[in-house]
Amino acid sequence: MKRIGVLTSGGDAPGMNAAVRAVVRKAIYHDVEVYGVYGGYSGLMNGNIEKLELGSVGDIIHRGGTMLLSARCEEFKTKEGQLKGIEQLKLAGIEGLVVIGGDGSYRGAKALTELGFPCVGVPGTIDNDIPGTQYTIGFDTALNTVIEAVDKIRDTAQSHERAFVIEVMGRNAGDLALWSGLAGGAETILIPEDNYDMNDICQRLIKSQERGKKHSIIIVAEGVASGVEFGKQIKERTDFDTRVSILGHIQRGGSPTAFDRVLASRLGARAVELLLKGKGGRAVGMKNNQVIDNDIADILGEAHTVDMNLLTLSKELSI
């Protein structure tokens, strides 16, 4: 393989730039040319492709977002859209593609591979919801962003003796809520993977108040319930003066943590190695601090699981 492409797709995540940098530098190190596809699969279908040099990825390792831009593209879910993409790649003389993104982006990479164009997936999403890897690029940064906010909210919650409902990202995956709840000392954590009972939650809050706890932090993943609605119910059912804070898109931005930069560098480099060995249809990941790769179809066939022991531990520690 003498020329490869790289794109970022789906929800952006801090550390995507560090992954792009790793792909570009690793490929050039091996005398392979690299082309950047701008704007995800949408840009791919439109031939928005440009050559990247060593200097093209200078000064980006510490930046959030993605220099290659990202997009969501319905048309790419069709075979016609995918064939258009392949046509553009072939026009540019590209022989393999690194796709940095979440499970939706992986589906696109799998489809291209099945149509004969080798792709390797790199997990880039703040949700940490991709099977086959313990961590996804961006999760650690988003987690630290949430923790910074929780710590600040805790100060004001304590001063005013209030209960705070903090809504964090995570439509289908509770990792961000779970980890931030445990790290932030939240009294209650609600994740999509677990059922909850409003009476139970309110009873716990009331009991903690009776024991002398004057404030409380409740972390809700967006996929469980609207923070506003949840806050309303707590206000109605307990004596707590309740406020709601929705963290929103700040969770997707910011300079990537050292952890995410190292992860992105390792995973991006491995993706290039796989393509150079002619191994398309793979997805890279991290297991026991070792870089691994799996069949992308296997990854997509697996369900993401959260570590429920963390939820139990949080309950034990937040009484």
Residue closer to ligand ADP, measured from CB, 10 or 184: 10
Q: How far is the CB of 82 from ligand ADP (least distance, A)?
A: 7
Q: Which two tokens stand for residue 54?
A: 């060593």
From 220, 102, 223, select the one nearest 171 (Cα to Cα): 223
Q: Is residue 104 a contact residue for ligand ADP (CB under 6 A)?
A: yes
Residue ranges of the binding site for ADP: 21-25, 154, 185-187, 211, 213-215
Q: Is residue 108 a contact residue for ligand ADP (CB under 6 A)?
A: yes
Residue closer to ligand ADP, measured from CB, 103 or 260: 103
Residue closer to ligand ADP, measured from CB, 108 or 132: 108
3-state secondary structure of 21: helix
Q: CA 76 → CA 73, 112, 297, distances in Å?
A: 6, 10, 18
Contact 148, 280 (CB under 8 A): no
Q: Which two tokens stand for residue 228?
A: 């506003």
Q: CA 308 → CA 143, 169, 193, 245, 311, distances in Å?
A: 18, 18, 9, 25, 5
From 217, 294, 252, 260, select the one nearest 10 (Cα to Cα): 252
Residue closer to ligand ADP, measured from CB, 133 or 242: 133
Contact string 8-47 vs ligand ADP (x = CB under 6 A): -xxx-----------------------------x------
Residue whose tokens read 């940064």: 141
* Length of the chain counted residue by residue: 319
Q: Is residue 282 a contact residue for ligand ADP (CB under 6 A)?
A: no
d(CA 98, CA 3): 11
Q: Is residue 193 a contact residue for ligand ADP (CB under 6 A)?
A: no
Residues in the interface with ligand ADP (CB under 6 A) total 17
Q: Which DSSP helix (H) or strand (E) runs through 190?
A: strand 188-190
Among the options 12, 127, 140, 175, which is catalytic? Answer: 127
Residue closer to ligand ADP, measured from CB, 9 or 17: 9
Q: Is residue 102 a contact residue for ligand ADP (CB under 6 A)?
A: yes
Contact 160, 153 (CB under 8 A): no
Residue 127 falls in the annotated catalytic set: yes
Q: Is residue 101 a contact residue for ligand ADP (CB under 6 A)?
A: yes
Contact string 52-91 vs ligand ADP (x = CB under 6 A): --------------------xx--xx--------------
Catalytic (active-site) positions = 127
- Please give the residue ranges that form the binding site for ligand ADP (CB under 6 A): 9-11, 41, 72-73, 76-77, 101-105, 107-108, 111, 125
